[in-house]
Amino acid sequence: MSTITSEIKNFLDLQKLGYVATVSSDGKPNISPKGTIIAWSSTVLAFADIRSPDTILNLQNNPFVEINVIDPLSRKGYLFSGTAKIIKDTPLYRDILTYYRNKGIQSPINSIVIVNVSSVSIVTSPLYDLGKTEYEIKLKWKKYFTDL
């Protein structure tokens, strides 16, 4: 699947953290947490470069990227693969920046990364393979986080 459906867009709107994987020029993996991942269209994701020097440098050398966003309670989510482009001072940059500001993001944004998504995969916990229900899994993790 390569389309970002309305269900996926709604999922991303609810989640507050995802992880972006890039590769450095010397072939080393880099995973960076991002709290600004959004579905901009049915084929494009975006995230803000707020404090992402390694991610940006890596993408300048190699535009291939994977993004993983998982609901921490249900242990379900999505893996997106695609090609990234860094934008700044373009109409699209201004549109996305306005979107972030309207959502309350106040941090300085150096640039915006847009990702043309080539594939979307569903990710689920192996607990589902054991017959656990989403309710049971959510209950387990709510208890875990409450007891911390």
- Give me the domain span that covers residue 65: 6-147
The answer to whether position 118 is within a domain reads yes
Predicted pLDDT at 103: 94
The answer to whether position 22 is within a domain reads yes
CB 66 within 8 A of CB 80: yes
Task: Tell which residue, 8, 143, 3, 20, has the closest CA to residue 71.
Answer: 8
- pLDDT-derived band at 147 (thresholds 50, 70, 90) equals confident
Tokens linked to 106: 């106040």
Predicted pLDDT at 57: 96
- pLDDT (average), residues 27-56: 96
pTM, rounded to two decimals: 0.93
Amino acid letter, 94: R
81 burial level (CB within 10 Å; 0-12, 13-18, 19+): middle
CA–CA gap between residue 47 and residue 67 (Å, rounded) = 10
The answer to whether position 19 is within a domain reads yes
The answer to whether position 135 is within a domain reads yes
**How remote is the C-alpha of 55 from its chain's centroid?**
13
The answer to whether position 1 is within a domain reads no
The answer to whether position 34 is within a domain reads yes
Predicted pLDDT at 148: 78
- pLDDT (average), residues 105-128: 96
CATH number at residue 102: 2.30.110.10
* Counted domains in the chain: 1
The answer to whether position 66 is within a domain reads yes
Tokens 């709510």 appear where?
A: 142
The answer to whether position 88 is within a domain reads yes
